[in-house]
Amino acid sequence: MRVTYIYHSCYLIEFGSFSVIFDYYKDAIREDGTTWVNDYLLGKEEDLYVLCTHSHSDHFNPEILTWKERKKNITYIFSHDLLSTGKSAGADAVYLRKEERYSDRHIRLKAFGSTDEGGSFLLEWNNLRIFHAGDLNNWHWNEEVAKEESLSYENNFLCELELLAEESDRLDLVMFPVDPRLGSDYMKGASQFISRIGVRYFLPMHFGEQYEKANRFATEAERNGVVYLPLSHPGQSFDLE
């Protein structure tokens, strides 16, 4: 499979007979000057799954709902958050609440929780387990809020992490926030994640343009036997076994 970082929390995964894109925000430019999504992806013949974890504008761009005008073989799968906030209509997508599942001839999908809006997704294909966290993270803000409040945020995250660990203690690919806005402990949630659940490949999200800070997590990942995939620009691809 080929995994491409589009921007922010958006990743494209190509499996050969179909593709999956998560949390589209804005497009990325390819080496030939065309765009990854509007030119390349929407021009492919294979089936496409468009997944969205929640309604925040940096994870959901309403442009995605126009893609079906250009490409007929699209399946939209959204967190129920999109429907409850009115950013999409009932006929636009399949909507999943926490613990709900979706499956078809290509994929199996289960929705998990978040420590912000919406949820997160565990995708299974051909014995591979792939997790996109959405805004699930230890948003502790421990340099900005009282200790008790920070600990409550952390506890919420650890509870969600346990629910995921009960489903699977080993994941092949994880896309997870490494957000420097959290201060000096910005990698804490990611560290707790890979300490609790075995991960083969790790890709960072939600770091803006701060590639260097996001890539500092490589040391911690390698210490836990995880292959960290370093990023340097939008549109960067990795071919994974």
* Digit-coded pLDDT (tens) for 111-128: 999 999 999 999 999 999
pLDDT at 5: 98
By percentage, how much of the chain surpasses pLDDT 90?
Answer: 99
Is residue 193 predicted with pLDDT exceeding 90?
A: yes
CA dist., res. 51 & res. 23, Å (int): 6
The whole model's pTM is what? 0.97
Rounded CA Rg of the chain: 17
CA dist., res. 177 & res. 174, Å (int): 10
Is residue 72 predicted with pLDDT exceeding 90?
A: yes
pLDDT at 185: 97
* DSSP SS3 for 92: helix
Q: Average pLDDT over the chain, rounded to whole? A: 97
Other beta carbons less than 10 A from residue 239's beta carbon: 8
Of the pLDDT bands very low, low, confident and very high (cuts 50, 70, 90), residue 241 is: confident
- Domain boundary assignment for the chain: 2-239
Q: What sections of the chain are H helices per DSSP?
A: 80-84, 147-167, 188-196, 211-215, 217-223
Other beta carbons less than 10 A from residue 167's beta carbon: 14
- pLDDT tens digits for 79-118? 999 999 999 999 999 999 999 999 999 999 999 999 999 9
For domain 2-239, the question of CATH label 3.60.15.10 is answered with: yes
